[in-house]
A and B are shown apart, each in its own frame.
Chain A
């Protein structure tokens, strides 16, 4: 889902850093929301709900619905659609409420 071979813009969407999703390295472009990197890597499930364990992913994409939240660098409930990537960021599929054990 990255922009390639744009008619007149230069290579604007070339990944330049790596983030880790459930331990797996995926490419990301500095400054883009985590959700963009996830979509480009074909990752659609961000979390499982607390009550019924249903999968959720990007829904509104504008930081309002909180469906896309994941645990980022040990902090649960981070809205991936409005949070920019950082090099070596650790992103985890959140199970329900998440956990605080690894928070930096």
Chain B
């Protein structure tokens, strides 16, 4: 069977997400910590909706009710140079 990639950045497959759910993961944060889905360069911009849908199916929630994983700064990749510049 072809692999179905859900998180493109970290190359996490649907199967790996299902395995984490089988291990007891019930929230977006828990899924992220156990599979790395959402930890890549785009920080979940690409996959979070898909993962929420997968999680919702297993917990019986509506996808709209699934709490998203934590959002943290920066909102996009920032070169360290730009973060240590002195204020003008």
Contacts and interface: CB of A to CB of B under 8 A. Distances in A.
B11 A51 contact: yes
A100 to B, nearest CB: 13
A59 B42 CA distance: 12
Counting chain B residues whose Cβ lies within 8 A of the other chain, the interface size class is 10 to 19
Contacts, number: 31
Contacts of A67: 8, 46
Q: Which range contains the number of A residues in contact with the other chain?
A: 10 to 19
Interface string B55-81: 000000000000000000000110000
Contacts of A55: none
A58 B86 CA distance: 35
Interface string A64-84: 111101000000010000000
Nearest to A82: B76
B8 A65 contact: yes
Contacts of B4: none
Interface of A: 49-52, 54, 56, 59-60, 63-67, 69, 77
Given A51-B11, A64-B45, 10 more contacts: A54-B11, A59-B8, A63-B76, A65-B8, A65-B9, A65-B42, A66-B9, A66-B41, A66-B46, A69-B41
19 contacts: A49-B11, A51-B10, A52-B11, A54-B11, A56-B8, A59-B46, A60-B46, A64-B46, A65-B8, A65-B9, A65-B42, A65-B45, A66-B9, A66-B41, A67-B8, A67-B46, A69-B41, A77-B41, A77-B77
